C-alpha cells in the first residue's frame, strides 16, 4: 500500500485511517472523513486538526477539519 491516510490531532498525534493504492480513492475517503468529523463538531469533543494523505512517506494532500463540515448540507436547498 503506497498511500496512507492519517488523522492528525492538535497535539500532533497521528492515527492511520487506511491504506490505498490510488490517490483519488484516498482523497475521496479523506474528504468524506474530514467532512463527517466537522459536521459532528460541538458535541463535546475537540476537533482533530486535519487529515493528511501521504504517498511513500511524503505529504501529498492535507485537509483542514472545520466545524460544520466541508461540504454543503445534504438537506439544504
**CB contact set of 54 (below 8 Å; sequence gap of 6+):** 3, 4, 6, 60
Identify whether the C-beta of residue 31 lies closer than 8 Å to the C-beta of residue 42.
no
If you average pLDDT over every residue of the chain, what do you get?
Answer: 87
Per-residue model confidence (pLDDT) at position 40: 78
Of all residues in the chain, the percent with pLDDT exceeding 90 is: 62
pLDDT tens digit sequence for 7-36: 999 899 999 999 999 999 999 999 999 998
Per-residue model confidence (pLDDT) at position 73: 63
Amino acid at each position: 500500500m503506497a498511500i496512507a491516510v492519517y488523522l492528525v490531532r492538535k497535539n500532533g498525534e497521528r492515527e492511520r485511517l487506511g491504506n490505498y493504492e490510488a490517490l483519488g480513492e484516498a482523497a475521496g475517503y479523506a474528504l468524506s472523513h474530514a467532512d463527517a468529523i466537522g459536521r459532528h463538531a460541538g458535541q463535546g469533543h475537540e476537533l482533530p486538526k486535519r487529515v493528511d494523505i501521504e504517498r511513500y512517506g511524503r505529504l501529498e494532500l492535507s485537509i483542514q477539519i472545520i466545524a460544520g463540515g466541508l461540504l454543503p448540507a445534504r438537506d439544504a436547498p
